[in-house]
């Protein structure tokens, strides 16, 4: 009897899982059939999104790859790509309703389903896939155009994405005085408080070396349009004082929405992420797996994906035989490689702060685009060790 495995999401989690399953079906398990479902027909290497938005810095061919081409080595009876978005999961009936890109709907029955739908960025910022691939390309193009025309830019949020975006803008414009670049942080230092203080201090210093203005201890309480077409950013400081910044362009780099609204509400936590047990499965449904940002077992960060995918594909061998799996043991070690423009980097490995030049070599030079093509072809996965 055929065993259909549906993989929802064609990002950093879904692509390698779908490749492994399709390869296993072809090589050793003829009963397996893989259906990959996603609204984007191109894989987006969003790790490099802070650089690809800079006009002239990086071509879209470095970050967008045809999914159908990447999976063309598998026969149609082993693999199918469905262009659409999950609309409703029916876990008791083992089926999922998909809203296809052509406007129709399709119910897909499954033996096993893997949810790797990730999250969307605030205001359709292209830090993540923005709907279809055409919409993602349009979002990149629009932001490039806005950046090129702006004389002053404010980046909202000093997390990983915010720091990397501000670093790219600082390298390209602020250090030469071509544009004014400002980053807003809710804390005295950028990045999360779980990150080592020395790493956070280095990130701030590197931004300031690029002439990026750093506003600390301020939360964004509102953004409105100004009469001249720019933006007015309203800030509330930790001492409750309020400040207004006028800028040509405001770039939000904070706030995400998890793509799990198609699941029953009891499967989700208060943030919208899906509950996971120690086998990366839904506690209620032992044939529903979750990887990446959509699941709540680990922090929502690309650094944990490699370990989750490696665990899953190894355990699938046993799962498809008898349904049993060894427990997944999350590594609490913090892994962070942070690009601050093409010439600077910092980060953290456990409680060790590697030399900046090492992190520059591995991250800042190409932001992973030197291996993105191999990743989408299924010959590489994200390495976390």
Q: What is the pLDDT of residues 189-199, one digit of tens each?
A: 999 999 999 99
Is residue 263 over pLDDT 80?
A: yes
The pLDDT assigned to 206 comes to 97
Q: In terms of residue numbers, what domain contains 321?
A: 3-123+256-330
pLDDT in tens, 37-62: 999 999 999 999 999 999 999 999 99
Nearest to 253 by CA among 346, 345, 185, 181: 185
* 16 belongs to a structural domain: yes
Residue 382 banded pLDDT, cuts 50, 70, 90: low
At 148, which helix (H) or strand (E)? helix 133-149
Residue 354 banded pLDDT, cuts 50, 70, 90: confident
Please tell me the distance from the alpha carbon of residue 363 to that of residue 352, in angstroms, as a whole number: 17
Is residue 244 over pLDDT 90?
A: yes
Is residue 289 over pLDDT 80?
A: yes
Please tell me the distance from the alpha carbon of residue 28 to that of residue 13, in angstroms, as a whole number: 23
The pLDDT assigned to 384 comes to 46
Please tell me the distance from the alpha carbon of residue 256 to that of residue 294, in angstroms, as a whole number: 11
Rounded mean pLDDT of 269-277? Answer: 98
The DSSP call for residue 195 is: S
Is 242:235 a contact under the CB 8 Å cutoff? yes
Residue partners of 314: CB distance under 8 A and separation at least 6: none
Please tell me the distance from the alpha carbon of residue 114 to that of residue 17, in angstroms, as a whole number: 8
pLDDT in tens, 95-118: 999 999 999 999 999 999 999 999
The pLDDT assigned to 65 comes to 98
Is residue 375 over pLDDT 90?
A: yes
* 145 belongs to a structural domain: no
Please tell me the distance from the alpha carbon of residue 362 to that of residue 376, in angstroms, as a whole number: 19
Please tell me the distance from the alpha carbon of residue 10 to that of residue 20, in angstroms, as a whole number: 13
* 36 belongs to a structural domain: yes
Residue 103 Ramachandran class (φ > 0 left, ψ -120 to 50 alpha, else beta): left
* 338 belongs to a structural domain: no
The CA radius of gyration of the chain, in Å to the nearest whole number, is: 21
Number of domains the chain contains: 1
> Which of 84-88, 301-305, 326-330 is the least confident region?
301-305
Q: How many residues does the chain have?
A: 385
* 138 belongs to a structural domain: no
Share above pLDDT 70 across residues of the chain, in percent, rounded to a whole number: 99
The pLDDT assigned to 217 comes to 98
Rounded mean pLDDT of 324-328? Answer: 95
* 247 belongs to a structural domain: no
The pLDDT assigned to 385 comes to 44
Does the CA dihedral 266-267-272-277 come out positive or negative?
Answer: positive
Is residue 231 over pLDDT 50?
A: yes
Nearest to 183 by CA among 209, 207, 199: 207
pLDDT in tens, 80-93: 999 999 999 999 99
The pLDDT assigned to 1 comes to 57
Does the CA dihedral 54-59-62-63 come out positive or negative?
Answer: positive
Residue partners of 299: CB distance under 8 A and separation at least 6: none
Residue 199 DSSP SS3 = helix
Residue 30 banded pLDDT, cuts 50, 70, 90: confident
* 43 belongs to a structural domain: yes
Query: What is the CATH classification number for the domain harbouring 107?
Result: 3.50.50.60
* 234 belongs to a structural domain: no
């Amino acid at each position: 009897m055929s065993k259909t495995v549906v993989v929802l999401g064609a990002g950093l989690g879904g692509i390698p899982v779908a490749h492994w399953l399709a390869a296993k079906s072809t090589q050793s398990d003829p009963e397996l059939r893989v259906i990959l479902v996603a609204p984007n027909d191109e894989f987006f290497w969003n790790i490099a999104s802070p650089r690809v938005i800079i006009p002239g810095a990086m071509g879209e061919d470095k970050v967008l790859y045809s999914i159908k081409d990447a999976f063309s080595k598998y026969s149609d009876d082993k693999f199918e790509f469905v262009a659409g978005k999950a609309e409703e999961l029916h876990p008791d009936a083992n089926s999922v309703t998909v809203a296809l890109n052509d406007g129709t709907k399709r119910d897909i029955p499954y033996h096993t389903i893997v949810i790797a739908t990730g999250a969307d960025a605030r205001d359709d910022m292209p830090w993540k896939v923005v709907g279809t691939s055409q919409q993602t390309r349009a979002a990149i193009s629009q932001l490039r155009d806005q950046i090129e025309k702006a004389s002053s830019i404010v980046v909202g949020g000093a997390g990983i994405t915010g720091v990397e975006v501000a670093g790219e803008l600082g390298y390209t414009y602020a250090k030469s005085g071509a544009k004014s670049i400002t980053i807003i942080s809710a804390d005295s230092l950028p990045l999360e408080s779980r990150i080592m203080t020395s790493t956070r201090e280095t990130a701030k210093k590197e931004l300031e070396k690029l002439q990026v203005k750093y506003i600390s201890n301020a939360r964004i309480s509102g953004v409105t349009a100004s009469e001249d077409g720019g933006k007015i950013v309203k800030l509330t400081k930790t001492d409750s004082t309020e400040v207004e910044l006028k800028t040509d362009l405001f770039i939000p780099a904070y706030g995400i929405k998890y793509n799990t609204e198609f699941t029953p509400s009891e499967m989700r936590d208060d943030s919208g992420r899906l509950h996971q047990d120690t086998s990366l499965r839904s506690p209620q449904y032992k044939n529903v797996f979750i990887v990446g940002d959509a699941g709540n077992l680990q922090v929502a960060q690309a650094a944990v994906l490699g370990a989750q995918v490696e665990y899953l594909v190894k355990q699938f061998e046993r799962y498809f035989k008898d349904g049993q799996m060894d427990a997944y043991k999350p590594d609490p070690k913090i892994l962070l490689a942070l690009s601050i423009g093409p010439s600077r980097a910092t980060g953290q490995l456990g409680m060790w702060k590697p030399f900046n030049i090492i992190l520059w070599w591995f991250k800042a030079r190409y932001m992973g685009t030197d291996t993105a093509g191999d990743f989408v072809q299924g010959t590489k996965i994200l390495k976390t060790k």
